[in-house]
Amino acid sequence: MGCAVERVTERRAIAAGVDRWNETVPGLGIEKWHVERSLFAPFDGVSVCCLAVGSEPRAFAVLKRLNRATPTYDATDTAWLSLFAFTDRAAGRELLDWITTDLRERDISELSVGGAPQHLLAGIPEQLPESHVETLTEAGLDVKGRVYDLHRDLADYAVPDRCRAVRDERSDLELVSATDHDSDLHRLLADQFPGRWQYEAANICRRPGGASDYWLLRTGDEPVAFVRSNRHDGPYRGPNLNWGAQFGDSYCGVGPLGVHEDYRGEGLGLYATAAVVDRLAAAGYDHCVIDWTDHLPFYDRLGFEPFQTYRTAGIDLCG
C-alpha cells in the first residue's frame, strides 16, 4: 500500500517532524533556534519544503532548493536533504522515492544529503541508525567520503609559534573586523571566492551586526584573507555553532576562511585563523568549533580535534 506524502507548513506539524529526528538521533538534537534560523528565516532565494508521511509522522524530511539564481550563487540544479527520519521504514522509502521523482520532474540534477545553505548537518552523521543509511542507499544515494566537525577547548589556547613567526616576518599584516570594512570584505569575496561564500556573506551582513562575524587580514590597505567567526551570543548563529552547546555555555565557531590566490602558500590562512581564535579566547569564549571540514592536518596545528563524523552522500538524478 502506498504512503501519502504531504507538505507540512504548520509549526506544530514541523515540530513533530523535528521531534522524530531528535528521537532518532538524540545526540544531534535540533533545537528551536536551529529551526528558526534554518527553516523559517532562509537565505535569499532558498526554498524550504517540509514533507511528512502520516500525522505522527511515520516519516519526515526537510528539503532545500535554491529556487532562483542569485547574483552571487547559482546552484539551482541542486537540492539538499537537510533532515530525514522515520519510524516506519516503508514510509521512509516511499518518502525518498517521492522526493527523487518530484525533483526529476523539476529538472533538478543532484540531491545531496546535508550541506545546504544554513545547513543543519554536513552529511550523514555517524549516529544515524543503519536502517536509515540502508534506506538512503536503497533509494540510489551514493555514500562517499567523510567530513568532520572539530572542537578545541580555549582555556589553554595560545597562538602557535609558527603563526607568531609569520607575524614577526610580516610587520605589514593587520587583522581587522569587517564591521568598518564591509566593502573590502565583499570586494575580496567577489574577486576571489565568487559563489557560496560570497552568497553567505551577503545574507549574513544584511543582519544587524552581521559584518562583525567577519575578519579581514590586510597587508597595508589590501585585504588578503578572510575568516568568519560566529558566537553563541552573536548577531548570527551560523552552522558552526550547531552542536557547540554540548561543550558548555560560552562557545564560538570559526570558518570558512580563504586566502587571496596571490598570497597562498605563505602561512597566512593558518595565521589568520589562529589570530581570530586568539581574539575569541580573549573575549571570554571557552570553546571553539569548526564544522564541515576534511582539512584535519591544517586545524590540528591549532589543536582542534574531531568530535563529529559525517559521511557525504548524494545521487545524480540525471543518471
- Please report the beta strands in 166-282, taking only residues with DSSP state E, as ranges in sequence order: 173-177, 214-219, 222-231, 251-259
> Percentage of residues in the chain with pLDDT exceeding 90?
95
Query: Do residues 247 and 286 make contact, with C-beta atoms less than 8 angstroms apart?
Result: yes
Question: For residue 1, what pLDDT is reported?
Answer: 43
Question: For residue 2, what pLDDT is reported?
Answer: 56
Query: Do residues 256 and 228 make contact, with C-beta atoms less than 8 angstroms apart?
Result: yes
Q: Is 73 left (phi over 0), alpha (psi -120 to 50) or beta?
A: beta
Average pLDDT, the chain: 96
Alpha helices in 58-195 (DSSP H): 89-105, 130-138, 161-169, 182-192
Q: How far is residue 137's CA from residue 114's CA, in Å, rounded to a whole number? A: 15
pLDDT, tens digit, for every residue of 196-238? Answer: 999 999 999 999 999 999 999 999 999 999 999 999 999 999 9
Q: Using pLDDT thresholds of 50, 70 and 90, give the confidence band for residue 254.
A: very high
Q: Using pLDDT thresholds of 50, 70 and 90, give the confidence band for residue 74.
A: confident
At residue 138, does pLDDT exceed 80? yes
Question: For residue 72, what pLDDT is reported?
Answer: 79
Question: For residue 251, what pLDDT is reported?
Answer: 98
At residue 124, does pLDDT exceed 80? yes
pLDDT, tens digit, for every residue of 158-171? Answer: 999 999 999 999 99
CB atoms within 10 A of CB 308: 22
Average pLDDT over residues 3-32: 95
Average pLDDT over residues 73-79: 91
Question: Strand pairing partners for 230?
Answer: 253
Following CA atoms 156, 157, 159, 161 in sequence, which dihedral angle do they give, to the nearest 10 degrees?
Answer: 40
Q: Which one has a higher pLDDT value, 29 or 73? A: 29
Average pLDDT over residues 97-103: 97
pLDDT, tens digit, for every residue of 165-195? Answer: 999 999 999 999 999 999 999 999 999 999 9
pLDDT, tens digit, for every residue of 261-312? Answer: 999 999 999 999 999 999 999 999 999 999 999 999 999 999 999 999 999 9
Question: For residue 70, what pLDDT is reported?
Answer: 79
